[in-house]
């Protein structure tokens, strides 16, 4: 009896197995998806860690940035910094094999910089810049903004300044459009490294990037640039600062490496910026 019952049971299982197979096959046909049979909603839910990482970053940004004329609290800054410090290139779909990391310009040309916008709203923007070796993002400012810069790939030199307040106009200034600034950062950074943070008036609000190797840097600006709200980007050229007051008896001033004259200039003519579509893990907004 036990043997016969076992045989009947195996036959029943085989029949049920065939029915289940047919049901799944029909479901796959109806659902589409290249044979996987998962509708878009299921694919998003079952997304890998990369999507989870960029989604988490977006949600923290939504909580941290309150809009124009606001600066995140120290607690919010720390929260966003921790998320960015853990972010990896693969979390935004990056690889050093991507074409925009390669410098295709001639020796006489300035290397082009590629960028892609991940997200934009009136509170903040998320953008990745791709720099081939020797490419430079010129010295520029971030009026009224708090900026988080995360180097994802490569080695780059970052130089940043803050304005010097309460100084007397110097007759030795290069031009009327020049203003005294103090160097905040002047160092090489190699990924992975800590996130750089600058504030509207401190932390190096005016900065420049120079790629030593192929680089990718994620910039989060809160609030974003806006000409309508007087948050337009201004470019500068830096000049040596001669401290004549501390010169010797002959009147020869000495150079103080902590300061520079920053002269406002037009957008550099050799600056080449090429925008591309963001094709990394998508953000679910709302």
Q: What is the pLDDT of residues 229-260, one digit of tens each?
A: 999 999 999 998 875 344 433 334 445 578 99
Q: What is the pLDDT of residue 137?
A: 96
Residue whose C-alpha is closest to residue 62's, from 154, 18, 126:
126
Q: What is the pLDDT of residue 181?
A: 94
Rounded CA separation 211/132 (Å): 7
Low-confidence ranges of the chain (pLDDT < 50): 1-15, 19-49, 244-254
170-174, Cβ contacts within 8 angstroms, sequence gap of 24 or more: 172/242, 172/244, 173/261, 174/239, 174/261, 174/263
User: In this structure, what DSSP letter does residue 97 have?
Assistant: T
Q: What is the pLDDT of residue 251?
A: 39
Query: 120 Cβ partners below 8 Å, 6+ apart?
Result: 126, 224
Rounded CA separation 80/240 (Å): 36
The pLDDT tens digits for 54-99 are: 999 999 999 999 999 999 999 999 999 999 999 999 999 886 566 6
Q: What is the pLDDT of residue 54?
A: 94
Q: What does DSSP say about strands 273-275 and 113-120: parallel, antiparallel, or unpaired?
A: parallel
């Amino acid at each position: 009896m036990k043997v016969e019952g076992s045989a009947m049971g195996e036959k029943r299982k085989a029949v049920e197995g065939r029915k289940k197979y047919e049901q799944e096959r029909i479901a796959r046909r109806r659902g589409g998806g290249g044979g996987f049979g998962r509708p878009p909603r299921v694919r998003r839910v079952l997304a890998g860690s990369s999507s989870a990482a960029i989604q988490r970053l977006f949600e923290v940004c939504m909580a941290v940035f309150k809009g124009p004329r606001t600066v995140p609290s120290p607690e919010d800054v720390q929260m966003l910094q921790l998320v960015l410090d853990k972010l990896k290139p693969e979390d935004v779909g990056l690889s050093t094999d991507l074409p925009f990391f390669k410098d295709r310009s001639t020796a006489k040309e300035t290397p082009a910089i590629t960028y892609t916008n991940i997200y934009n709203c009136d509170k903040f923007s998320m953008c990745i810049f791709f720099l081939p070796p020797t490419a430079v993002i010129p010295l520029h400012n971030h009026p009224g903004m708090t900026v988080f810069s995360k180097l994802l790939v490569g080695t780059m030199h970052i130089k940043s300044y803050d304005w010097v307040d309460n100084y007397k106009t110097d007759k030795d200034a290069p031009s009327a459009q020049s203003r005294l600034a103090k160097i905040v950062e002047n160092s090489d950074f190699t990924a992975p490294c800590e996130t750089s943070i600058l504030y509207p008036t401190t932390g190096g609000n005016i900065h420049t990037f120079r790629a030593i190797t192929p680089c990718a840097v994620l910039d989060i600006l809160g609030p974003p640039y806006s000409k309508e709200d007087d948050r337009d980007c201004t470019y500068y050229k830096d000049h040596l600062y001669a401290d004549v007051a501390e010169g010797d008896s002959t009147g020869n001033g000495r150079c103080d490496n902590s300061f520079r004259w920053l002269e406002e200039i037009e957008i550099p003519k050799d600056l080449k910026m090429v925008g591309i579509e963001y094709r990394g893990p998508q953000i679910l907004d709302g």
